[in-house]
Chain A
Protein backbone atom coordinates (compact mmCIF):
# COMPACT_ATOMS: atom_id res chain seq x y z
CA UNK A 1 0.00 0.00 0.00
CA UNK A 2 1.29 3.44 -0.87
CA UNK A 3 0.75 4.65 2.67
CA UNK A 4 3.68 2.51 3.84
CA UNK A 5 6.02 4.96 2.16
CA UNK A 6 7.25 7.79 4.38
CA UNK A 7 6.11 11.27 3.26
CA UNK A 8 8.56 12.96 0.96
CA UNK A 9 9.08 16.59 -0.03
CA UNK A 10 7.46 16.02 -3.43
CA UNK A 11 4.18 15.02 -1.73
CA UNK A 12 4.08 18.30 0.19
CA UNK A 13 5.02 20.27 -2.90
CA UNK A 14 2.31 18.52 -4.93
CA UNK A 15 -0.42 19.38 -2.42
CA UNK A 16 0.82 22.98 -2.19
CA UNK A 17 0.82 23.31 -6.00
CA UNK A 18 -2.71 21.86 -6.11
CA UNK A 19 -3.78 24.82 -3.96
CA UNK A 20 -2.50 27.10 -6.71
CA UNK A 21 -4.78 25.27 -9.15
CA UNK A 22 -7.81 26.29 -7.02
CA UNK A 23 -6.89 29.94 -7.49
CA UNK A 24 -6.81 29.41 -11.27
CA UNK A 25 -10.17 27.57 -11.15
CA UNK A 26 -11.76 30.36 -9.11
CA UNK A 27 -10.61 32.73 -11.87
CA UNK A 28 -11.86 30.62 -14.81
CA UNK A 29 -15.13 29.39 -13.27
CA UNK A 30 -15.84 32.74 -11.60
CA UNK A 31 -15.41 34.54 -14.92
CA UNK A 32 -17.69 32.01 -16.62
CA UNK A 33 -20.35 32.65 -13.95
CA UNK A 34 -20.25 36.38 -14.78
CA UNK A 35 -21.40 35.62 -18.35
CA UNK A 36 -23.54 32.51 -17.87
CA UNK A 37 -25.48 31.04 -14.95
CA UNK A 38 -23.84 29.66 -11.81
CA UNK A 39 -24.98 26.16 -12.75
CA UNK A 40 -23.37 26.58 -16.18
CA UNK A 41 -20.06 27.58 -14.56
CA UNK A 42 -20.06 24.24 -12.71
CA UNK A 43 -21.49 22.15 -15.58
CA UNK A 44 -18.91 23.21 -18.20
CA UNK A 45 -15.76 22.31 -16.19
CA UNK A 46 -17.32 18.95 -15.27
CA UNK A 47 -18.00 18.29 -18.97
CA UNK A 48 -14.59 19.37 -20.32
CA UNK A 49 -12.89 17.72 -17.35
CA UNK A 50 -14.63 14.42 -18.10
CA UNK A 51 -13.47 14.59 -21.74
CA UNK A 52 -9.87 15.32 -20.74
CA UNK A 53 -9.90 12.59 -18.07
CA UNK A 54 -11.06 10.04 -20.68
CA UNK A 55 -8.25 11.14 -23.02
CA UNK A 56 -5.71 10.80 -20.19
CA UNK A 57 -6.98 7.32 -19.26
CA UNK A 58 -6.82 6.23 -22.92
CA UNK A 59 -3.30 7.54 -23.54
CA UNK A 60 -1.58 7.00 -20.17
CA UNK A 61 -3.52 3.78 -19.37
CA UNK A 62 -2.60 3.88 -15.65
CA UNK A 63 -2.82 0.46 -13.97
CA UNK A 64 -5.15 -0.13 -11.03
CA UNK A 65 -3.02 -0.34 -7.90
CA UNK A 66 -5.19 -2.97 -6.19
CA UNK A 67 -6.87 -6.04 -7.67
CA UNK A 68 -9.88 -5.67 -5.38
CA UNK A 69 -12.75 -3.53 -6.67
CA UNK A 70 -13.48 -0.32 -4.73
CA UNK A 71 -16.78 -0.12 -2.81
CA UNK A 72 -19.58 1.58 -4.79
CA UNK A 73 -19.85 4.52 -2.36
CA UNK A 74 -16.25 5.48 -3.16
CA UNK A 75 -17.52 6.69 -6.56
CA UNK A 76 -19.66 9.43 -4.96
CA UNK A 77 -16.96 12.10 -4.58
CA UNK A 78 -18.42 13.94 -7.56
CA UNK A 79 -21.84 14.24 -5.88
CA UNK A 80 -20.23 15.76 -2.81
CA UNK A 81 -18.35 18.17 -5.11
CA UNK A 82 -21.56 19.16 -6.88
CA UNK A 83 -23.34 19.80 -3.58
CA UNK A 84 -20.41 22.01 -2.54
CA UNK A 85 -21.14 24.38 -5.43
CA UNK A 86 -24.79 24.71 -4.38
CA UNK A 87 -24.03 25.24 -0.67
CA UNK A 88 -21.27 27.75 -1.46
CA UNK A 89 -23.34 29.82 -3.85
CA UNK A 90 -26.26 29.97 -1.39
CA UNK A 91 -24.00 31.11 1.48
CA UNK A 92 -22.07 33.54 -0.73
CA UNK A 93 -25.22 35.48 -1.56
CA UNK A 94 -26.11 35.97 2.12
CA UNK A 95 -24.68 38.45 4.62
CA UNK A 96 -21.64 36.19 4.94
CA UNK A 97 -20.44 37.36 1.49
CA UNK A 98 -17.55 35.69 -0.26
CA UNK A 99 -14.96 36.25 2.49
CA UNK A 100 -17.15 34.87 5.27
CA UNK A 101 -18.16 31.89 3.15
CA UNK A 102 -14.53 31.05 2.34
CA UNK A 103 -13.43 31.45 5.98
CA UNK A 104 -16.18 29.16 7.33
CA UNK A 105 -15.54 26.72 4.49
CA UNK A 106 -11.87 26.48 5.45
CA UNK A 107 -12.91 25.79 9.05
CA UNK A 108 -15.23 22.99 7.91
CA UNK A 109 -12.52 21.51 5.73
CA UNK A 110 -9.94 21.52 8.54
CA UNK A 111 -12.30 19.97 11.10
CA UNK A 112 -13.31 17.24 8.65
CA UNK A 113 -9.71 16.39 7.71
CA UNK A 114 -8.62 16.11 11.38
CA UNK A 115 -11.60 13.86 12.11
CA UNK A 116 -10.91 11.75 9.00
CA UNK A 117 -7.23 11.26 9.93
CA UNK A 118 -7.97 10.45 13.58
CA UNK A 119 -10.59 7.84 12.57
CA UNK A 120 -8.87 6.52 9.46
CA UNK A 121 -12.18 7.33 7.76
CA UNK A 122 -13.36 5.06 4.89
CA UNK A 123 -10.56 2.57 5.51
CA UNK A 124 -7.73 4.98 4.81
CA UNK A 125 -4.57 5.18 6.92
CA UNK A 126 -5.18 6.35 10.51
CA UNK A 127 -2.98 9.22 11.65
CA UNK A 128 -3.28 10.84 15.06
CA UNK A 129 -2.50 14.54 14.62
CA UNK A 130 0.22 15.72 17.01
CA UNK A 131 0.69 19.14 18.62
CA UNK A 132 2.86 20.30 15.71
CA UNK A 133 0.01 19.57 13.31
CA UNK A 134 -2.35 21.67 15.43
CA UNK A 135 0.23 24.46 15.73
CA UNK A 136 0.77 24.44 11.97
CA UNK A 137 -2.97 24.45 11.34
CA UNK A 138 -3.49 27.37 13.73
CA UNK A 139 -0.79 29.42 11.98
CA UNK A 140 -2.13 28.64 8.50
CA UNK A 141 -5.72 29.38 9.59
CA UNK A 142 -4.63 32.70 11.15
CA UNK A 143 -2.73 33.68 8.00
CA UNK A 144 -5.66 32.67 5.80
CA UNK A 145 -8.13 34.73 7.90
CA UNK A 146 -5.90 37.82 7.71
CA UNK A 147 -5.64 37.43 3.92
CA UNK A 148 -9.37 36.83 3.51
CA UNK A 149 -10.51 39.79 5.60
CA UNK A 150 -7.68 42.32 5.21
CA UNK A 151 -5.64 41.18 2.21
CA UNK A 152 -7.60 42.87 -0.54
CA UNK A 153 -9.81 45.94 -0.56
CA UNK A 154 -13.55 45.19 -0.97
Chain B
Protein backbone atom coordinates (compact mmCIF):
# COMPACT_ATOMS: atom_id res chain seq x y z
CA UNK B 1 0.00 0.00 0.00
CA UNK B 2 2.72 2.48 0.95
CA UNK B 3 4.34 1.80 -2.45
CA UNK B 4 1.19 3.08 -4.16
CA UNK B 5 1.08 6.16 -1.93
CA UNK B 6 4.66 6.92 -2.97
CA UNK B 7 3.71 6.34 -6.63
CA UNK B 8 0.70 8.68 -6.40
CA UNK B 9 2.72 11.45 -4.72
CA UNK B 10 5.54 10.75 -7.18
CA UNK B 11 3.13 11.29 -10.07
CA UNK B 12 2.37 14.75 -8.69
CA UNK B 13 6.09 15.52 -8.29
CA UNK B 14 6.62 14.43 -11.91
CA UNK B 15 3.86 16.79 -13.09
CA UNK B 16 5.65 19.65 -11.34
CA UNK B 17 9.04 18.54 -12.69
CA UNK B 18 7.66 18.37 -16.22
CA UNK B 19 6.20 21.88 -16.00
CA UNK B 20 9.45 23.25 -14.57
CA UNK B 21 11.51 21.64 -17.37
CA UNK B 22 9.11 22.82 -20.09
CA UNK B 23 9.10 26.28 -18.55
CA UNK B 24 12.92 26.33 -18.56
CA UNK B 25 12.90 25.30 -22.22
CA UNK B 26 10.41 28.08 -23.04
CA UNK B 27 12.76 30.55 -21.33
CA UNK B 28 15.35 29.85 -24.05
CA UNK B 29 12.92 29.15 -26.91
CA UNK B 30 9.21 29.93 -26.67
CA UNK B 31 6.05 28.31 -25.29
CA UNK B 32 5.05 26.65 -28.59
CA UNK B 33 8.47 25.12 -29.15
CA UNK B 34 8.50 23.90 -25.56
CA UNK B 35 5.13 22.20 -26.17
CA UNK B 36 6.48 20.63 -29.39
CA UNK B 37 9.51 19.13 -27.65
CA UNK B 38 7.40 17.90 -24.74
CA UNK B 39 5.18 16.01 -27.17
CA UNK B 40 7.81 14.55 -29.50
CA UNK B 41 10.11 13.47 -26.63
CA UNK B 42 7.08 12.05 -24.80
CA UNK B 43 6.02 10.23 -27.98
CA UNK B 44 9.47 8.64 -28.30
CA UNK B 45 9.39 7.64 -24.62
CA UNK B 46 5.88 6.14 -24.69
CA UNK B 47 6.72 4.34 -27.98
CA UNK B 48 9.79 2.83 -26.32
CA UNK B 49 7.71 1.63 -23.37
CA UNK B 50 5.17 0.19 -25.82
CA UNK B 51 7.91 -1.69 -27.67
CA UNK B 52 9.21 -3.15 -24.40
CA UNK B 53 5.83 -3.89 -22.80
CA UNK B 54 3.81 -4.64 -25.94
CA UNK B 55 0.03 -4.51 -26.32
CA UNK B 56 -0.23 -0.96 -27.62
CA UNK B 57 -3.10 -1.73 -30.01
CA UNK B 58 -5.13 -4.06 -27.78
CA UNK B 59 -8.87 -3.68 -27.32
CA UNK B 60 -11.03 -1.94 -29.91
CA UNK B 61 -9.69 1.63 -30.01
CA UNK B 62 -11.34 2.35 -33.38
CA UNK B 63 -14.76 1.94 -31.75
CA UNK B 64 -14.11 5.00 -29.56
CA UNK B 65 -16.06 8.17 -30.41
CA UNK B 66 -14.14 10.54 -32.72
CA UNK B 67 -13.82 13.25 -30.09
CA UNK B 68 -11.86 10.90 -27.82
CA UNK B 69 -8.97 11.43 -30.27
CA UNK B 70 -8.81 15.19 -29.63
CA UNK B 71 -6.71 14.97 -26.44
CA UNK B 72 -3.47 15.66 -28.34
CA UNK B 73 -4.39 19.10 -29.72
CA UNK B 74 -5.78 20.09 -26.30
CA UNK B 75 -2.53 18.93 -24.72
CA UNK B 76 -0.44 21.10 -27.06
CA UNK B 77 -2.36 24.15 -25.87
CA UNK B 78 -2.12 23.00 -22.23
CA UNK B 79 1.67 22.56 -22.22
CA UNK B 80 2.18 25.86 -24.05
CA UNK B 81 -0.05 27.66 -21.53
CA UNK B 82 1.79 26.13 -18.56
CA UNK B 83 5.22 27.05 -20.00
CA UNK B 84 3.97 30.59 -20.62
CA UNK B 85 2.40 31.06 -17.18
CA UNK B 86 5.20 29.57 -15.04
CA UNK B 87 7.71 32.18 -16.22
CA UNK B 88 5.30 35.00 -15.38
CA UNK B 89 3.62 34.04 -12.09
CA UNK B 90 5.91 31.28 -10.79
CA UNK B 91 5.51 27.54 -10.25
CA UNK B 92 3.33 27.66 -7.12
CA UNK B 93 0.75 30.11 -8.47
CA UNK B 94 0.68 28.32 -11.82
CA UNK B 95 0.09 24.98 -10.07
CA UNK B 96 -2.65 26.29 -7.80
CA UNK B 97 -4.50 28.10 -10.58
CA UNK B 98 -4.34 25.05 -12.85
CA UNK B 99 -5.67 22.91 -9.97
CA UNK B 100 -8.42 25.48 -9.33
CA UNK B 101 -9.38 25.53 -13.02
CA UNK B 102 -9.36 21.75 -13.21
CA UNK B 103 -11.56 21.34 -10.14
CA UNK B 104 -14.12 24.02 -11.02
CA UNK B 105 -14.43 22.94 -14.66
CA UNK B 106 -14.76 19.35 -13.46
CA UNK B 107 -17.74 20.31 -11.30
CA UNK B 108 -19.28 22.24 -14.23
CA UNK B 109 -18.90 19.28 -16.62
CA UNK B 110 -20.18 16.80 -14.02
CA UNK B 111 -23.29 18.91 -13.46
CA UNK B 112 -23.80 19.49 -17.21
CA UNK B 113 -23.57 15.74 -17.84
CA UNK B 114 -25.93 14.97 -14.96
CA UNK B 115 -23.37 13.12 -12.81
CA UNK B 116 -24.89 12.49 -9.37
CA UNK B 117 -23.19 14.35 -6.55
CA UNK B 118 -23.76 16.18 -3.31
CA UNK B 119 -24.68 19.79 -3.95
CA UNK B 120 -23.36 21.06 -0.58
CA UNK B 121 -19.94 19.56 -1.27
CA UNK B 122 -19.81 21.04 -4.76
CA UNK B 123 -20.79 24.51 -3.54
CA UNK B 124 -18.42 24.43 -0.54
CA UNK B 125 -15.55 23.09 -2.64
CA UNK B 126 -15.95 25.73 -5.35
CA UNK B 127 -16.37 28.51 -2.73
CA UNK B 128 -13.14 27.48 -0.92
CA UNK B 129 -11.23 27.37 -4.23
CA UNK B 130 -12.52 30.78 -5.33
CA UNK B 131 -11.60 32.13 -1.89
CA UNK B 132 -8.11 30.67 -2.22
CA UNK B 133 -7.68 32.25 -5.65
CA UNK B 134 -8.79 35.62 -4.30
CA UNK B 135 -6.32 35.45 -1.39
CA UNK B 136 -3.45 34.53 -3.70
CA UNK B 137 -4.37 37.02 -6.38
CA UNK B 138 -3.94 39.86 -3.91
CA UNK B 139 -0.60 38.47 -2.72
CA UNK B 140 2.56 40.35 -3.58
CA UNK B 141 5.27 37.74 -3.92
CA UNK B 142 8.65 38.77 -2.54
CA UNK B 143 11.30 38.45 -5.22
Q: Which residues of A pack against B, CB within 8 Å?
A: 1-3, 5, 7-8, 11-12, 14-29, 31-32, 34-37, 39-54, 56-57, 60, 62-66, 68-71, 73-88, 90-91, 94-96, 100-101, 104-114, 116-117, 121-130, 132-133, 135-144, 146-147, 150-153
Complex formed: what's the CA distance from A21 to B30 in Å?
20
Nearest-neighbour CB distance to chain B for A22, whole angstroms, equals 4
Q: B91's contact among A91, A116, A123, A146, by CB below 8 Å, is which?
A: A116
Does A31 lie within 8 Å of B141, measured CB to CB? no
Chain B contacts for A48, CB-based, 8 A: 69-73
Does B50 lie within 8 Å of A133, measured CB to CB? no
Q: Which residues of B pack against A, CB within 8 Å?
A: 1, 4-5, 7-47, 49-50, 53, 55-65, 67-79, 81-82, 84-107, 109-110, 115-118, 121-122, 124-129, 131-143
Does B61 lie within 8 Å of A19, measured CB to CB? no
Does A94 lie within 8 Å of B4, measured CB to CB? yes
Q: B11's contact among A41, A66, A108, A126, by CB below 8 Å, is which?
A: A108
Chain B contacts for A49, CB-based, 8 A: 35, 39, 43, 71-73, 75-76
A-B complex: 7 closest residue pairs judged by Cβ atoms: A19-B101, A108-B12, A36-B61, A48-B72, A112-B16, A139-B132, A143-B128
Complex formed: what's the CA distance from A31 to B68 in Å?
6
Complex formed: what's the CA distance from A46 to B41 in Å?
9
Q: B25's contact among A70, A116, A139, by CB below 8 Å, is which?
A: A70
